[in-house]
Amino acid sequence: MNNKYEILSKYFGHTSFRQGQEELIDSLLDGKDVLGVMPTGAGKSMCYQIPAMIFPGVTFVISPLISLMHDQVVTLVQSGIPAAYINSSLTYPQYLKVTDRLRRGEYKLVYVAPERLEREDFLNIAASLCVPLIAIDEAHCVSQWGQDFRPGYLKIADFIESFQTRPTIGAFTATATDNVRSDIIKLLKMNNPISITTGFDRPNLFFSVAEPPSKEAKLLAFIKERPLLTGIVYCSTRNNVEEVCDMLNENGCHAVRYHAGLSEEERRRNQEAFVYDRVQVMVATNAFGMGIDKSNVSYVVHYNMPKDLESYYQEAGRAGRDGGEAECLLLYSPHDVRIANFLIDNSDSRQEYSLKEQEELRQRDKIRLKYMTYYCTTPDCLRGYMLRYFGERRTGSCGKCSNCLSNYTEEDITVDAQKILSCIVRMRRGYGVKMVCDVLRGNTNERIRQMEFDKLSTYGLMKGYSESRVRSIIGALITNGILAQTDGDYPTLTLTQKSAQVLKGELTVKTRVIKRSERKTKTKTAVTENPDLYEKLRQLRKTIADAESVPAYVVFSDAVLRDIAANKPKNKKEFSAINGVGYKKLEKYSDRFIEEIIKYESNT
């Protein structure tokens, strides 16, 4: 079979490509290197899986985590695509079996851990094969500026160059700033790649930030309102994972935990319980998730603020992978910023770098933390803020985040902005937010007296304001480019071109002010037509999945199951029209689902 549309329909059950997919596929088929930056759930894998089915020989897919390989291979095999993986989870007899079948040309895709690329036995096998394409999943891992840098990815370029005939390279990721994209191209030695970024927006995700009096109470209420839904709760430390997991279980929410301090056996056991839907809630550090291809996660809660927006976007993006409505809630407190700063200052992940490089990376992380904090405190559209951070222009209300759905007023803060800017001008050289706030609020301390700031005309100009209010206005000025903040351990405020316009009265400054009622955090989950039938089909899916020892979403995703419940197909032709049903699943499962539908209709 050499037609991309036939493969799309037969194996994946779709009739059309999503944005960016066809151009990336065509470029690979033409022998051109590609870099695809596509959000989670946008179909990156299909961009190299379809060419792999068309090309002669075998395509190697370099992937960072064992569990990710396993899930993707299981899904491919279930769809009728011959695939395997080679990593440390295989016993030696299993490894020999896979490599024997590989030599015989029985696979179209083989997933490989980057560490395997240094093994002489594997290199000898690879050199003897026809390898037209090498796909690199999670390609941002090659860059030290990415949030998940993995040294093993630096070996990929040498592996590619070891072939007598250079394979085409396809690099794919969901998160990559301009610097990371440049690094991917350079470090993988890509040849003038076709670079396509389809956008970072995930329209099916509802983003919210809350600063509740009690995070525990908020989290517990949130989960109890969604008793049948699957979710992940991310915490910044192992201790928090332990405490939150215990709290949920003590209050009737069955949860398991995952962090690097647990034994490998417990991590595996808990991960399997979550993936196979034996438990609904996973509480974890960021050590959990990159390798999970679970499509039916309905919510992701961050109990603590992550260190950067790249990590937050990737972790939150594990919700709603099947296209269904999902929620991403971040529980913020100022204490999270102190924790994040501590983790940055005490990171042991930079030991292989020089002292100069370590300091550069630390300063990079501080800058990222600053933007993450702005996200948590901005009154503006959360989606728009995030998209602008990743280089997309988005203005106005998205109508699908807690800020846009909150009651707010638009306030003219031009006069307050002029007070702040005038104070910074009179202080003559750069000072931090705290010092500027103290001067404006008329605070008295030894440093203010030594610098004679108490003699400035702007001293005490905002005496009736709380410190948090002044900080909020300064944050709005930074967000709007009217002020800038230097990088480093002791960031200071500096003026911009817009500052002069504001001081002269040529530019009006406005900001949203969210009313003090708590920001809304709840949105509708995916609408399911015929919910009673959907539940019966869900039970049937679980029975089949248990019998085959695969996760339920491998049989059919929740999105496909909702379509089946809505359309109620009565024969194979109607069943094949369901989006996401390929030939293999049609043959394996359609009779049992059709039987369940007919039985349901006869009883209603």
Name the band, by pLDDT with cuts 50, 70 and 90, for residue 359.
confident
pLDDT, residue 287, reads: 67
Q: Which part of the chain has CATH 3.40.50.300?
A: 4-197, 205-405
Q: Mean per-residue pLDDT for 534-547?
A: 92
What is the pLDDT of the chain when averaged over all its residues? Answer: 88
Which stretches of 281-333 are DSSP H helices? Answer: 309-316
Residue 489 has what pLDDT? 57
Residue 501 has pLDDT above 90, yes or no: yes
The whole-number average pLDDT for the span 305-311 is 90
CATH code of domain 205-405: 3.40.50.300
Q: Which CATH number fits domain 4-197: 3.10.450.50, 3.40.50.300, 3.40.50.720, 2.60.260.20?
A: 3.40.50.300
| b/e burial code for range 147-167 (CB count within 10 A of at least 16 → b) | bbbbebbbbbbebbeebeebb
Q: What are phi and psi of 421, to 5 degrees?
A: -65, -40
Helical axes 531-548 vs 558-567, angle rounded to 10°: 130
CA 74 – CA 502 distance, rounded (Å): 59
pLDDT at 492: 85
Please list the residue range(s) of the chain that carry CATH number 1.10.10.10.
408-514
Mean per-residue pLDDT, 529-548: 90
Q: Which of 42, 361, 400 is nearest to 199 (CA)?
A: 42
Among all chains, which residue has been given the structure tokens 């030594």?
450
Higher pLDDT, residue 487 or 165: 165
Give the DSSP letter string of 248-287: HHHTT--EEEE-TTS-HHHHHHHHHHHHTTS-SEEEE-TT
What's the distance, Cα to Cα, between the start and end of the chain in Å?
44
The phi, psi pair for 161, rounded to 5°, reads -70, -15
Do the Cβ atoms of 314 and 232 come closer than 8 Å?
A: no
Among the ranges given (158-162, 178-182, 287-291, 331-335), the one the predictor scored with the smallest mean pLDDT: 287-291
- SS3 at position 588: helix
Going by C-alpha positions, the residue among 580, 583, 548 that lies closest to residue 564 is: 580
128 half-sphere exposure, CB direction, 13 A CA radius: 11
Mean pLDDT of 440-462: 91
Find the farthest-apart pair of alpha carbons in the chain and give their distance in angstroms, rounded. Answer: 87
Q: According to the model, what pLDDT value does residue 411 have?
A: 84
DSSP run (H or E) holding 329: strand 326-331
Bridge partners of residue 554, in order along the sequence: none
Selection from 131, 136, 475, 522 nearest residue 325 by Cα: 522
Residue 2 pLDDT: 65
Closest among 498, 333, 515 to 420, alpha carbons compared? 498
- How many percent of the chain have pLDDT more than 70? 93
Looking at residue 248, what is its pLDDT? 96
Q: Residue 288 has what pLDDT? A: 73
The C-alpha atoms of residue 567 and residue 330 are separated, in whole angstroms, by 36
Distances (CA, A) of 84 to 64, 69, 77, 224, 363: 15, 8, 8, 39, 41
Residue 487: band (very low, low, confident or very high) from pLDDT cuts 50, 70, 90: low
Average pLDDT over residues 301-326: 89
Residue 518: pLDDT above 50?
A: no
Provide the token pair at 467: 């410190």
For the 531-602 domain, the top CATH level (class) is mainly alpha
Average the pLDDT over 76-101 and give the result: 92
What's the pTM value of the predicted model, to 2 decimals? 0.72
CB 64 within 8 A of CB 148: yes
* pLDDT tens per residue across span 234-278: 998 999 999 999 999 999 999 999 998 999 899 889 988 998 889
SS3 string of 47-72? HHHHHHHHCCCCEEEECCCHHHHHHH
pLDDT exceeds cutoff 50 at 468:
yes
- The pLDDT of 150-160, averaged and rounded, is 89
The answer to whether the CB of 323 falls within 8 A of the CB of 560 is: no
Domain with CATH 1.10.150.80 in the chain: 531-602
In angstroms, the CA 12 to CA 388 distance is 33
Amino acid identity at 435: M
pLDDT at 101: 95
The pLDDT of residue 1: 53
d(CA 123, CA 382): 47
- Across the range 41-49, mean pLDDT stands at 88
Give the model confidence (pLDDT) of 287-300 as tens digits: 676 556 678 899 99
In the numeric block, the tokens 């803020």 are attached to 385
Per-residue pLDDT, 198: 84
Beta strand 408-412 with 510-514 is antiparallel
Average pLDDT over residues 537-561: 90
Query: Which one has a higher pLDDT value, 110 or 526?
Result: 110
Tokens 């438990």 found at: 279
Q: What is the mean pLDDT of residues 505-516?
A: 77
What secondary structure does DSSP assign to 73-113, as a single string? HHHHHHTT--EEEESTTS-HHHHHHHHHHHHTT--SEEEE-
pLDDT at residue 527 tops 60: no
Closest by CA position to 172, among listed 128, 216, 144, 139? 139
Kindly indicate whether the domain formed by 408-514 is annotated with CATH number 3.40.50.300. no
The answer to which of 480-489, 497-506, 546-555 has the lowest mean pLDDT is 480-489
- Residue 490 one-letter amino acid: Y
14-23, 490-499, 511-520: which range is least confident on average?
Answer: 511-520
Rounded CA-CA distance 225/298 in Å is: 12
Residue 516 confidence (pLDDT) above 50: no
